[in-house]
């Protein structure tokens, strides 16, 4: 009788420890501590049941092990789910970028992210033919000209009044469709495709066209919304196209391989300290909640020369 009482007290102590674990935020503590408690719990129970019949004891032991394992798996799933949810002062999911910033501010942050990565990764363009694909005005054509490009063309796939076709002051501009580029095959040595817009369309078709107009040995860069960025998945203000086939970074590799392009490098742009200047003092909380969020992904492409291995 005394032995059973001591074990009941031991069970109570374990339950107290379990209550503490439920309140903790550390997934590693949850996993390790609960595993130890499960073993102690089973050991105590086994000692209590030592006087019972073998068949009943075996069945009860098995039930307790299954019960403890189920609880442990539940806690692990809870811990993984909690890691995916950004918390700020309690369990509070991170709001979408579109719901916290105006469209003008969001576009500005994306432009800064493009500038930081692209201006330092443009290859040598001396005597090269260059194409920039964008929704709005081609922002990098002057840079391409400075680097010695022989001919630069900016294709705008949205009808805007800010641009005249044939304007050669900053390069040659035309309007057209990114999914049906109005150029002959193997025309350009370098293509910069800026598809981080709400009207990007079918990325797979765009990639096929980029592969078609690139010369063998040509290079390019595809700029897109980061698939893990804090972008809205619904609503009129959403930036990302709901029809986009991109759900993760590996999808880009799959699509590029399908159309005959190689991804030779991949870089990411995040909302970092350099973008603090675009937030007013009263918006410091918004800045802190978004700091570190992925904004853009840059895929650096290469079209293999004819006869080269596709691997």
How sure is the predictor about 5, in pLDDT bands with cuts at 50, 70 and 90? Answer: very low
Of the two residues 58 and 20, the one the predictor is more confident about is 58
Mean pLDDT of 51-79: 71
Residue 38 near residue 72, CB atoms below 8 Å: yes
Q: Which CATH superfamily is domain 97-302 in?
A: Vaccinia Virus protein VP39 (3.40.50.150)
Q: What pLDDT sits at residue 42?
A: 61
Tokens 């709005």 locate to 136
Dihedral sign for Cα 138, 142, 145, 147, please.
negative
Q: Which pLDDT score is estimated for 213?
A: 96
For the stretch 109-151, pLDDT in tens is 999 999 999 988 999 999 999 999 988 778 898 899 899 999 9
Question: Which residue in this structure is represented by tokens 């595809």?
Answer: 222
Handedness of CA 184, 188, 194, 195 (dihedral sign): positive
Q: What is the pLDDT of residue 2?
A: 41
Select the more confidently predicted residue: 171 or 63: 63
191 contacts 153 by C-beta, under 8 angstroms: no
In this model, does residue 83 exceed pLDDT 50?
no
Q: What is the mean pLDDT of the chain?
A: 76
Residue identified by tokens 């079209």 is 303
Long-range contacts of the stretch 32-39 (C-beta < 8 A, 24+): 34/71, 34/72, 34/75, 35/72, 38/68, 38/69, 38/71, 38/72
**7's tokens:** 């074990």
pLDDT score recorded for residue 59: 74
- pLDDT at residue 22, rounded to an integer: 45
pLDDT tens digit string along 199-238? 667 888 889 999 999 999 999 999 998 988 888 766 666 7
Asked whether residue 27 carries a pLDDT value surpassing 70, the answer given is: no
Q: Is the pLDDT of residue 278 over 80?
A: yes
What's the pLDDT score for residue 35? 62
Instruction: Identify the pLDDT of residue 129.
Output: 95
Map the chain to HEC letters: CHHHHHHHHHHHHHHHHHHHHHHCCCHHHHHHHHHHHHHHHHHHHHHHHHHCCHHHHHHHHHHHHHHHHHHHHHHHHHHHHHHHCCCCCCCCCCCCHHHHCCHHHHHHHHHHHHHHHHCCCCCCCCCCEEEEEECCCCCCHHHHHHCCCCEEEEEECCCCCCCCCCCCCCCEEEECECCECCCCCCCEEEEEEECCCCCCCCHHHHHHHHHHHEEEEEEEEEEEECCCCCCCCCCCCCCCCCCCCCCCHHHHHHHHHHHCCEEEEEEEEECCHHHHHHCCHHHHHHHHHHCCCEEEEEEEEECCCCCCCCC
**Structural domain boundaries in the chain:** 2-84, 97-302
CB 207, CB 278: distance < 8 Å: no
**Residue 6 pLDDT > 60, yes or no?**
no
Cα(14)–Cα(94) distance, integer angstroms: 35
With a CB cutoff of 8 Å and minimum separation 6, the contacts of 228 are: 248, 294
Residue 63 in this model has a pLDDT that exceeds 70:
yes
């Amino acid at each position: 009788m005394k032995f059973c009482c001591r074990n009941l007290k031991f069970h109570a102590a374990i339950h107290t420890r379990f209550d503490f674990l439920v309140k903790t935020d550390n997934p590693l503590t949850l996993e390790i501590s609960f595993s130890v408690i499960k073993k102690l719990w089973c050991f105590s129970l086994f000692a209590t049941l030592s006087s019972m019949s073998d068949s009943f004891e075996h069945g009860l032991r098995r039930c307790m092990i299954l019960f403890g394992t189920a609880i442990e798996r539940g806690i692990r799933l809870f811990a993984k789910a909690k890691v995916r949810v950004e918390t700020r002062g309690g369990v509070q999911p991170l709001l979408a970028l579109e719901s916290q910033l105006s469209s003008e501010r969001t576009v500005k942050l994306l432009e800064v992210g493009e500038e930081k990565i692209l201006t330092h990764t443009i290859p040598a363009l001396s005597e090269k033919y260059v194409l920039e694909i964008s929704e709005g005005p081609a922002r990098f054509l002057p840079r391409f000209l400075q680097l010695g490009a022989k001919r630069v063309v900016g294709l705008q796939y949205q009808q805007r009044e800010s641009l005249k076709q044939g304007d050669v002051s900053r390069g040659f501009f035309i309007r057209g469709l990114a999914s049906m580029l109005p150029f002959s095959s193997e025309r350009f040595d370098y293509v910069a495709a800026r598809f981080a817009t709400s009207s990007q369309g079918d990325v797979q078709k765009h990639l096929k066209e980029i592969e078609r107009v690139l010369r063998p040995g040509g290079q390019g860069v595809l700029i897109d919304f980061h698939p893990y960025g804090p972008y809205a998945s619904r609503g009129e203000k959403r930036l990302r196209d709901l029809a986009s086939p991109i759900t993760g970074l590996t999808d880009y590799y799959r699509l590029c391989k399908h159309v005959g392009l190689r991804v030779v490098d991949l870089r990411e742009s995040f909302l970092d300290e350099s973008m603090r200047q675009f937030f007013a003092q009263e918006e410091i909380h918004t800045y802190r909640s978004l700091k570190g969020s992925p904004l853009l992904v840059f895929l650096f492409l290469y079209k293999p020369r004819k006869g080269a291995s596709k691997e």
